[in-house]
Amino acid sequence: MEHEVMFTGVGGQSIQLGAQILARAAVVEDRHVTYLGTYGGTMRGGNTDATLILADGPVSAPPIVSKVAAALAMHHQFFEPVRAKLRPGSIVVVNASLFEGPLDRDAWRVFDIPATQIATELGNTLAACLVLTAAYARITGVVGLDALIAGMQEAVPSYRRQHIESNEKALRAGFEHASPGGAPIWESAA
């Protein structure tokens, strides 16, 4: 089974890091993954997306997909292209602290997580995407908390190692905030 998920937001919101953590966590749990990060020409403030294909066997889908089963939206500004790719019944996890605008709650399973608020309360606003990533993991059962922490430890570059402890707190907080099994994707998570 393959599960496509897109991360979207504004450059500087750690979209690429969140996606890399989820990809590495899936590998820790013996899943198969493809990952493609894309971003505009600016470091901060431009569009940034990442697409992951997570599977329980070899991945056959390319990392550029026309439809997805899930989306993590940190901000509404660049959500429209992702919205167009969502299938009916898709899982949509949004950063309720920043996301504005309508969501088709009849067509999708929408989960509101105040990721920026939670990260700010932890003293690490830049870790909001990690909060959202962990909440998505708990809601779907895609990976466990230990795998997320291991994935984060691998993904954080050596010059950012001082953030590991606060990133782990953000992952734990996001995981604890979400209700488990709200939209399981693996048969074993159902």
pLDDT, tens digit, for every residue of 51-87?
Answer: 999 999 999 877 789 999 999 999 999 999 999 999 9
Query: According to the model, what pLDDT value does residue 42 have?
Result: 65
List per-block mean pLDDT (blocks of 10 residues) for the chain, which spans 190 residues: 93 91 97 90 78 94 88 95 96 97 95 98 95 98 97 94 96 96 74
Sheet containing 86-95: order of strands:
32-39, 47-55, 2-10, 68-73, 86-95, 109-113
- Return the structure tokens found at 104: 């088709």
Token pair belonging to 178: 């979400």
Angle 15-28/145-155 helices, nearest 10 degrees?
120
| Spatial distance between the Cα atoms of 51 and 62, rounded to a whole number of angstroms | 10
Delineate the domains of the chain, giving CATH numbers in brackets.
2-189 (3.40.920.10)
